Structure 1
Amino acid sequence: MYPFNQAVESLLEIAHRCAQKGWLPATSGNLSVRLNGHPLSMAITRSGCDKACLKTEDIIVVDERMQVMSGYAGKPSAETSVHVGLYEKFPDIACILHVHTIFNNLLSERYFSISEGTGHISFAQHELLKALGHWEEKASINIPIVPNYANLERLGQAVTEAAYRDVPGVLVHRHGIYAYGESPEAALRHLEAFEFLFEYHWRLNQAASS
C-alpha cells in the first residue's frame, strides 16, 4: 500500500495538523498507515509518545498479531487492536486516525445510551457531508457510538462491528473518534469533517437553549 518512508511523512504531517487544533492532548490518540495488506502490516505511533512533537522514531511497524517487527523499538499503541480490526474489515482503507476532542466527547456523552450500550449521532442535509462522500441532495448519516471497553480486544471488536462503509468513522463513548479513509489525505479530510459537524451541532444546540 505505502512504503514506510511515505507513511512516516504522512503521519508526521497529520500529527502536526491535528496537534495544532488541540486534538491530541496529553499524549492521547493513535495514528496509522497501512503498509501491506497480505499479510497485514502498518506503521503506527508508539505508545506514550507526544504526537504534538511526533518524530520518526515514534513510529513503529507492527503486524496483524500486533507484534513489533524487527528493526523497530517501542511498544505499539494499546489500541492497535482497533486498527487491526478496521484494516481487516475494509481491505481498501489505508489510514486510521484516532483523536480525543472536547466536542466528540460531549456528543458521545449526549447520544450514548448506557442502558442500551449503544448510540448514534445523526446529521442531515449539511454541506460538510460531501467531504464524507455524500453528495445527494437530502443526504443523511448516522455516526455509531460504542462503549468504551477497558478490555482493548473487546473495544477493537466493538468498533469494527459498528463500522460501515458509507460513514468512515466510529465514536467511542467518553473517549474519541476513529476516522479512516482510502488514503492518509482522505482519512484526514473525514476526520476534519466529523469534527466540524460535532462542533457545529453542539454550538447550535447551545445557542438554541440560551
Structure 2
Amino acid sequence: MSTLDLAGRALAAESARYEAMGWMRGTSGNLSVTLSRDPLRLAVTASGLDKGALTATDVVEVDADGQAVPGQAKAPSAEAGLHARIAGVAGAGAVVHVHAMAPVLAAEFWPDGVELRDMEMLKGFGRRAHDDLVTVPVVPNSQDMRVLGDAFEAGFRADTPALIVARHGIYVWGDDLAHARQRLECLEWLLRFRTRLYRAFEGSPQ
C-alpha cells in the first residue's frame, strides 16, 4: 500500500470522527498530512465531499502551493494552499481545519486575538497551565489562500499551533493527526469556556 493510500485511510477516519462531533457539517472542513519535506508534499482531503463518508481514495496529493500533483482524478480542497503554507512554515506533520462554533464566536468577541491563561486544559494545547499568556491569532476571512497564508505567517508563533479565521473556522496543527486532534479538542474546550464565561457576565472582560 502506498504512502498516499495510508494517508487516505487515516484522513477518512479522522474526518468521520470530526463530522460526528458536528465540526465538519455538510462538506465543510478539510484535513491534511505531510508526505514529504523536500519537496513539500501533502495529502489533503478532496473537495466537495461529505466528510463523514470519505474513503481512502478521497484524498489528493498537493505541492507546496496547494496545487494537485499531476495525474490525479480529484480536486483538493480549496484551502489546500493554506494547509501547505502552515506545513511549510510551522513544520507541521498534520493540519486540521474545522468549523467548530466556539472559535468563530471567540473571534467575534476578540477580533485582535483570543487570550487564554491560567486553565489546566492549556497543557493539552502544549502550553503551561499557569503564568503563560496564550494569544490565539485571528485573521479576516478571504477566498484567496495567499492572502490567508500571508496573514498566518505574519502572526505565526511556534508555540501557538492554531489560527482562527473570522466567521469561518479554525486551523490547528501538530506532529501527526492524533496530535493535531488532541490540541484541537483542548483548544475548542478552552474557547467554549472563554466565550460562555464572557456571555455569562454580559460582556464584562474575564
**TM > 0.5:** yes
Q: Secondary structure at the match of 2:188?
A: helix
| Structure 1: segments with no counterpart, 5+ residues | 113-118
3-state secondary structure, aligned to 1:153: helix
Aligned to 1:3: 3
| SS at 1:26 equivalent | coil
Structure 2: how far apart are the matches of 1:45 and 1:207? 38
Number of the residue aligned with 1:107: 106
TM-score by length of 2: 0.91
2:176 corresponds to which residue?
183
User: SS state of the match for residue 190, structure 2?
Assistant: helix
Gaps of 5+ in 2: none
Task: Provide the secondary structure at the position in 2 that maps to 1:60.
Answer: strand
- Displacement of 1:28 after TM fit? 0.9
Distance 1:162 1:51 in 2: 30
Offset of 1:72 from its aligned partner? 2.6
Partner of 1:57, secondary structure, is coil
SS in 1 for 2:167: coil
SS of 1:42's equivalent in the other structure is strand
Match of 2:29 in 1: 29
**Alignment length, in residue pairs?**
202
Residue 190 (structure 2) aligns with: 197
Query: Which runs of at least 4 in structure 1 moved beyond 3 Å after TM superposition?
Result: none
CA RMSD between the two structures:
1.8
Give the whole-Å Cα distance in 2 for the aligned partners of 1:104 and 1:77.
21
How much identity, in percent, do the aligned residues show? 33
Please give the secondary structure, in 2, of the residue aligned with 1:122.
Answer: strand
Corresponding residue for 2:135? Answer: 142
Give the drift of 1:14. Answer: 1.5
TM-score normalised per structure 1: 0.89
Indicate if the aligned counterparts of 1:148 and 1:173 stay in contact, CA closer than 8 A.
yes
CA-CA distance at 1:124 after TM superposition = 0.5
The answer on whether the counterparts of 1:98 and 1:177 sit within 8 Å (CA) in structure 2 is yes
| Residue 54 of structure 1: how far off its partner (Å) | 1.6
Supply the distance in 2 between the matched residues of 1:151 and 1:135 (Cα, whole angstroms). Answer: 34
Task: Return the structure number with greater helix share.
Answer: 1
Decide whether the 8 Å contact of 1:33 with 1:44 is kept in 2. yes
Deviation for aligned residue 1:70? 4.3
